[in-house]
Amino acid sequence: MTKILMVCLGNICRSPLAEGILKSKLPQDEFIVDSAGTANYHVGSPPDKRSVAVANKYGININNLRGRQFEASDFDRFDYIYVMDSSNLSNVLSLARNEADIAKVNMILNEIYPGENFDVPDPYYSGNQGFENVYNMLNEACDIIVKKLI
């Protein structure tokens, strides 16, 4: 099993969408994909309606996901940890215990633009177009991740 974790701030907008998109492209018997937030604001909450809607538009169901907070033990449970932005990156790295933990973490858009450290913009305060843009970025990044892993 290869295990991949998607991380954002709230675990209700970007990372559940990234989880749903990547899951839809990988065989379930070989890969585990999960998501978490660095903050605890939305623990137990379903994804934002706008993320649910854009996922649905592309045939992906993320209704049943629930928010949870990233914790240090996630470094043991996952092989790859993708963060959405630079603030997620510093929050996740602040919990890293050793070099092996650090080596698992990357910004997801570095899969498209290696080494550029571009952010997936937080769409929480934006309209539906923001969610559509985020969907497109994550979809492109996930296609590259799939090519690497399969």
Q: Would you say the C-alpha torsion 29, 45, 78, 139 has a positive or negative sign?
A: positive
What's the min distance (Å) between Cβ of 13 and ligand 4NP? 3
Give the other-Cβ count within 10 Å of 94's Cβ: 9
Is residue 8 among the annotated active site residues? yes
Token pair in block for residue 96: 């890293």
The smaller minimum CB distance to ligand 4NP, of residues 104 and 123, is found at: 123
Listing DSSP states for 30-60 in one string gives TEEEEEEESSSTTTTPPPPHHHHHHHHHTT-
Which of 48, 74, 85, 122 is an active site residue? Answer: 122
50 catalytic per annotation:
no
| Least gap, CB of 30 to ligand 4NP (angstroms) | 27
Which of positions 23-52 make contact with ligand 4NP (CB under 6 A)? 37, 41
Catalytic residue among 14, 50, 74, 85: 14
For residue 86, the surrounding DSSP H or E stretch is helix 86-93
Name the residue nearer to ligand 4NP (CB basis): 80 or 124. 124
- Residue positions annotated with a catalytic role: 8, 14, 122
